[in-house]
Structure 1
Amino acid sequence: MGSTKDYNEQALLSMVASGNELAFLQLFNHHKAKVYSVLLALTRSQVSAEELLQDVFIIIWKRREHLLQLDCFESYLFIIARNKSYKALKKTAIEKKKAATFRPEELHHNDAMESILVSEYQQLLHKAVNRLSPQQKQVYQLVKIEGLSREQSAHVMHIHPETVKAHLAKALKSIRAYCKASFKVFLIC
């Protein structure tokens, strides 16, 4: 391959048009960086830009017999690159839209399954909370259910905020242990 100053595009296009693969390789090497940068700017994806770069030059090779009829090869090349990018972006957008939309029966099935799981989780949590000591249960109720701060809960219960903190920690540990054990039993069955 010659240097850039030895590059004669018309002669190269003529050789490519006649099926010369080495000339095509030289044409590719001369233009690939510019085309890649345009594709990358349009797609914002290195993987897509690399794939589209190959696609663009495959089109050039398939249409090689028309290369001598072009007034400006570089314009032709960038129009192909632009069009391939837009088609790829449109295809990606359509695929994302399809993936985001559910068929009504799938949506109904997912809602029903989610409803069942939420109900089972609530029952499990209720059982775990009912196993707590009265003070742990009250602290859990005030902090986690009613949304009071530890200080507010301490005021309501007439105890120190650090005591609330300790009861809450024990309550959460007990709830986690119960749920974890119940989940293991559920998986074994």
Structure 2
Amino acid sequence: MSSAEVEAAAETALATGDHLQASGADYEAVLPEVIRSPVNMEFAEAVETVLRDLRAQCAVRPDIRREEGTGITLWAPDGSGQGLTPHPDGTAAELLVHLADQVQDWAVETLWSEGASAIWPHCPTHPDTHPLTATVRADAAVWGSPKKRGTTVARIGELETHWSGFESSAG
């Protein structure tokens, strides 16, 4: 998709309020434009960071809408939606954890409604038993195992680089 096509698709989605229906490379190209305009940039970047992890490990992709008055909403195939709200006060790491919790709620509900394992993100040490937990450790937003307290699996936004074998082992 050329940069002119990306801009045109993003402008159309923003102007009409339509949700993002692109997939694959188109999804990756248009997503930042839909999220960022005219949302607070720190919030937009945090949303993009958390959505990297969703794309890395979740079988269901959201339709994403920027909605007047409510911000960004993730829509599931069954028509249910989850609004994403910024953390009212706090550090950048706390904002990421707050958003990761909201995206995790969306993913678990959506996976369950699709008849899939309602665990996201998967714990590499305890597959199919529990999801990872978003938390702040040493001023960084991370995914950790709730069964092994203090264990960090990956920084939020970096699941794909730390556990790239997920898709082949999940099949």
Confirm or deny a common fold (TM above 0.5).
Answer: no
User: When you count strand as a share of all residues, which structure comes out higher?
Assistant: 2
Q: Which has the higher contact order (CA 8 A, sep 6+)?
A: 2
Task: Give the shorter-chain TM-score range.
Answer: under 0.3
Q: TM-score normalised to the size of structure 2? A: 0.25
**Higher CA-based Rg:** 1
Q: TM-score normalised to the size of structure 1? A: 0.23
